[in-house]
Chain A
């Protein structure tokens, strides 16, 4: 980790280490925050946040969850994908395949520091999609996917929200429709969506990143559905692994964060406890 520094959070008493992870890219490094477990670690978890405007809506929830889980005895890693937030590099140079490599690098980083202990992946939205790919590749021992969706569906949802915001804040501005924007992307134009430069490469790469439903997997995994997340999109029977949370689409409302007395926190803790104790998580009751 490059340029590392650390501090003890006065509220939780958790030691946090912050720095940049070299992933072999001269243009971009991954910003990393490592929350150290209170006492002997029981296991580890990598929190995979989302992309574009979702990032800022999720961030403080991830910070609170990371500190809370560290206080429960887990080593927790959270990070920004290259080109986004605190990580370096130009957004327009990266795509989902690159962000998958960032996630892999973070899992490898944590595994190296926790030999023999289970590692879980906790992902939200685009982060859940990338976590599902790594879980499918057997790179983690458990996974929790919060409101997952396929990459192109994710981009469409982001663009829809961006256009609605734009219509509200600039009612008289001339703007393109969603279909026109995707047509422009396909023709090679770079499109500004909430300040991020979407490229043809990003859009085309997104087509090859679909949420991978774990099939008859003994490792503990859960899909957390928020009230209006279309579960049918996943195209498989989720009932044995699906839990319904009442937190709503919190990533869309920047100031809010999900409290540690929420259902999402409880599902996270139950899942991680089961991952690290080997005991099956509580039965699902949707």
Chain B
């Protein structure tokens, strides 16, 4: 697998990335797909312990192109550096990188004649990908969520709190959940609560675990319902394992098969201890070969 640097300009943003070009072509042109991995938090695009680079190399052995990009202010990309990782994370949750990533995917698909792209990354990288997929249509072929951080950030300012409230009221289901939940507004609707609660439960299924970013969970659910497949890799019995499991339970049961869950034993959030790296790569390669058999080079 050969590597080459890439530059992508989206307005004032210059993203810097790397393409892993497979040594052997993966068959028919119309079936070519790629994998785009984004920064796992403030870590450079190679990933902690070069995990992202390793995954792209491994997928490249199957004939699938891998791309890794630094988003604005991280790694080799342009822009002022983030002073704190948390600032980057909050901005990312608010869609700071969405448009640039969506443009990037469209550009890469066109430039490399790809039918579409699998998008994701470790921790925050998965969430950036999940958000950006909403701005894409047929080019988003699947999600690769590695230990995705679906926790909502604590609101810091009045504006954050207002935004958090608005986010909670974005769908009818969420309005119902709020009216029947612990909200201060709930008491106004006390007489209607039993009926509303029953209705909300029918519509939304089990309640989301506390602290989960409801907007992200809703996006993931919508994408899964729209038959966008997901590979979810988590450290077995970790916090992420527990709450992503709870989020998954809120998906319609007929659609839950669209999410392949790989639980890596004896691992941690960065999927590096013991043989975690190899197991993560094995899960990725197996999933890609099963879901996109035409895109994988025949041995």
Among B6, B12, B74, B84, which residue has its beta carbon within 8 angstroms of that of A10? B12
Contact indicator B266/A170 (Cβ below 8 Å) = yes
Could you say which residues of chain A place their CB within 8 Å of the CB of B49?
53, 194-196
Q: Whole-angstrom distance between the alpha carbons of A196 and B16 in the complex?
A: 24
The minimal Cβ–Cβ distance linking A19 to chain B, given in whole angstroms, is 6
- A33 lies within 8 A of chain B by Cβ: yes
Quick one: CB contact mask for A162-184 with B, threshold 8 Å, 1 for yes? 00001001100100000000000
Among A19, A85, A194, A195, which residue has its beta carbon within 8 angstroms of that of B5? A19
- B18 lies within 8 A of chain A by Cβ: yes
Among A5, A31, A84, A254, which residue has its beta carbon within 8 angstroms of that of B43? A254
Contact indicator A257/B41 (Cβ below 8 Å) = no
Q: Which residue of B lies closest to A174 (CB)?
A: B266
The minimal Cβ–Cβ distance linking A82 to chain B, given in whole angstroms, is 12
Name the interface residues of A23-80: CB closer than 8 Å to any CB of B.
31, 33, 53, 55-56, 59-60, 63-64
Among A9, A16, A20, A85, which residue has its beta carbon within 8 angstroms of that of B46? A85
A255-B18 contact, Cβ under 8 Å, with A11-B79, A56-B43, A195-B277: no
Contact indicator A3/B5 (Cβ below 8 Å) = yes
Contact indicator B53/A85 (Cβ below 8 Å) = yes
- A229 lies within 8 A of chain B by Cβ: no
Could you say which residues of chain B place their CB within 8 Å of the CB of A166?
268, 273
The minimal Cβ–Cβ distance linking B279 to chain A, given in whole angstroms, is 12
Q: Whole-angstrom distance between the alpha carbons of A256 and B12 in the complex?
A: 23
Q: Which residue of B lies closest to A169 (CB)?
A: B268
Among A59, A169, A170, A195, which residue has its beta carbon within 8 angstroms of that of B75? A59
Q: Whole-angstrom distance between the alpha carbons of A4 and B82 in the complex?
A: 27
Could you say which residues of chain A place their CB within 8 Å of the CB of B74?
60
Q: Which residue of A lies closest to B74 (CB)?
A: A60
- A86 lies within 8 A of chain B by Cβ: yes
- A7 lies within 8 A of chain B by Cβ: yes
Contact indicator B50/A91 (Cβ below 8 Å) = yes
- A263 lies within 8 A of chain B by Cβ: no
Q: Which residue of A lies closest to B14 (CB)?
A: A7
Among A19, A88, A173, A255, which residue has its beta carbon within 8 angstroms of that of B273? A173
Q: Which residue of A lies closest to B85 (CB)?
A: A255
- B88 lies within 8 A of chain A by Cβ: yes
A18-B76 contact, Cβ under 8 Å, with A85-B50, A86-B46, A196-B49: yes
- A6 lies within 8 A of chain B by Cβ: yes
Number of A-B contacts (CB under 8 A): 109
Residues of chain B at interface, number, CB under 8 A: 46
Contact indicator B273/A86 (Cβ below 8 Å) = no
Could you say which residues of chain B place their CB within 8 Å of the CB of A7?
7, 9, 14, 16, 78
Could you say which residues of chain B place their CB within 8 Å of the CB of A20?
3-5
- A266 lies within 8 A of chain B by Cβ: no
The minimal Cβ–Cβ distance linking B91 to chain A, given in whole angstroms, is 13
Contact indicator A5/B46 (Cβ below 8 Å) = no
Could you say which residues of chain A place their CB within 8 Å of the CB of B5?
3-5, 18-20, 31, 86
Could you say which residues of chain B place their CB within 8 Å of the CB of A3?
3-5
- B272 lies within 8 A of chain A by Cβ: yes
- Residue from B45, B80, B86, B273 having most chain A Cβ neighbours under 10 A: B273
Could you say which residues of chain B place their CB within 8 Å of the CB of A6?
7
Q: Which residue of B lies closest to A33 (CB)?
A: B76
Contact indicator A173/B75 (Cβ below 8 Å) = no
Could you say which residues of chain B place their CB within 8 Å of the CB of A59?
44, 75
- B97 lies within 8 A of chain A by Cβ: no
Name the interface residues of B46-62: CB closer than 8 Å to any CB of A.
46, 48-51, 53-54
The minimal Cβ–Cβ distance linking B177 to chain A, given in whole angstroms, is 33
- A246 lies within 8 A of chain B by Cβ: no
- A192 lies within 8 A of chain B by Cβ: yes
Q: Which residue of A lies closest to B15 (CB)?
A: A7
Could you say which residues of chain B place their CB within 8 Å of the CB of A16?
76
Could you say which residues of chain B place their CB within 8 Å of the CB of A194?
48-49, 272
The minimal Cβ–Cβ distance linking B268 to chain A, given in whole angstroms, is 4
Contact indicator B76/A192 (Cβ below 8 Å) = no
A255-B88 contact, Cβ under 8 Å, with A85-B53, A86-B46: yes
Q: Whole-angstrom distance between the alpha carbons of A10 and B76 in the complex?
A: 13
Quick one: CB contact mask for A246-286 with B, threshold 8 Å, 1 for yes? 00000000111100000000000000000000000000000
- B274 lies within 8 A of chain A by Cβ: yes
Q: Whole-angstrom distance between the alpha carbons of A59 and B45 in the complex?
A: 11
Q: Whole-angstrom distance between the alpha carbons of A158 and B246 in the complex?
A: 36
Could you say which residues of chain A place their CB within 8 Å of the CB of B18?
86
Contact indicator A63/B3 (Cβ below 8 Å) = no
Q: Which residue of B lies closest to A84 (CB)?
A: B50
Contact indicator A192/B81 (Cβ below 8 Å) = no
The minimal Cβ–Cβ distance linking A36 to chain B, given in whole angstroms, is 15
Q: Across the A-B interface, give the 4 residue pairs with the lowest CB-CB distance, nearest first.
A: A195-B49, A255-B85, A3-B4, A169-B268
A interface list, Cβ under 8 A from B: 3-7, 9-11, 16, 18-20, 31, 33, 53, 55-56, 59-60, 63-64, 84-86, 88, 91, 166, 169-170, 173, 192, 194-196, 254-257
Given contacts A10-B79, A18-B7, A86-B53, 17 further A-B contacts (CB under 8 A): A5-B6, A9-B78, A10-B13, A11-B80, A18-B16, A56-B43, A56-B48, A60-B44, A60-B74, A84-B50, A85-B46, A85-B53, A86-B3, A86-B18, A254-B42, A255-B41, A257-B81
